[in-house]
């Protein structure tokens, strides 16, 4: 689901996290030329609603959202916003949670402790993925494994604290 944009078109980003200071930090981190924050949500139902209303290109989605968690929200978002790329940004490092996130339609998975470096990499990798290329070639950030491999012990060897796996 690589985001395809016309030249000069801003990347629309939605942030969904229940912690207001973290949302503010993300807004500052993601304030880049060509990227536009179109909305924020503080819970799962709000993320689903805003995604449907705003049709963002990228959704930064926490897993530990109140109301409905980020994985369940992603499943609902996929129905109304199928072209959006979902990047999970969370504290969760359990391999079963990571697997569930990708099964729900995640394009990338970033642990919050590594957000400053890895979130930008995940967004840029997602944006640069060639839509016509095979997923194993198009969406593989450095140090990641194939989504079909699920070799979580081998994920992102360069920074074991972060999990970024292609779709």
CB-facing half-sphere around the CA of 136: CA atoms within 13 A: 4
Any idea what the Cα angle at residue 143 is, between residues 139 and 148, rounded to 5°? 55
Task: Output 9 or 45, whichever has higher pLDDT.
Answer: 45
pLDDT of residue 5: 57
Task: Output 131 or 84, whichever has higher pLDDT.
Answer: 84
Per-residue pLDDT tens digits for 69-117: 999 999 999 999 999 999 999 999 999 999 999 999 999 999 999 998 8
Mean pLDDT of 10-39: 96
Instruction: Report if residue 147 sits inside a domain.
Output: yes
What distance, in Å, lies between the first and last C-alpha atoms of the chain?
Answer: 8
Nearby residues of 13 by Cβ (< 8 Å), 6 or more positions away: 30, 35, 36, 37, 38, 56, 57, 58, 59, 60, 123
Confidence tier at 61 by pLDDT (50, 70, 90): very high
CATH code assigned at 63: 3.40.50.2300
Tell me which residue range forms the domain holding 79. 11-154
pLDDT of residue 129: 78
Q: How many domains, in total, are found in the chain?
A: 1
pLDDT of residue 161: 39
Look up residue 41 and give its two tokens: 């949500």
Instruction: Report if residue 3 sits inside a domain.
Output: no
pLDDT of residue 155: 35
Q: How far apart are CA 42 and CA 62, in angstroms?
A: 10
């Amino acid at each position: 689901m690589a985001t395809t944009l016309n030249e000069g078109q801003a990347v629309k980003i939605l942030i969904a996290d229940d912690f207001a200071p973290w949302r503010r930090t993300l807004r500052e981190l993601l304030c880049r030329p060509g990227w536009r924050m179109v909305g924020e949500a503080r819970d799962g139902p709000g993320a689903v609603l805003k995604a449907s209303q705003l049709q963002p290109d990228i959704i930064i989605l926490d897993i530990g959202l109140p109301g409905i968690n980020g994985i369940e929200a992603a499943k609902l978002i996929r129905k109304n916003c199928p072209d959006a790329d979902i990047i999970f940004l969370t504290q969760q490092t359990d391999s079963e949670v990571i697997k569930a996130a990708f099964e729900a339609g995640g394009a990338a998975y970033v642990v919050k402790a590594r957000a400053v470096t890895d979130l930008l990499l995940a967004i840029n990798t997602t944006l640069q993925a060639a839509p016509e290329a095979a997923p194993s070639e198009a969406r593989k950030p450095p140090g990641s494994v194939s989504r079909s491999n699920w070799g979580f012990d081998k994920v992102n060897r360069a920074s074991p604290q972060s999990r970024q796996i292609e779709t």
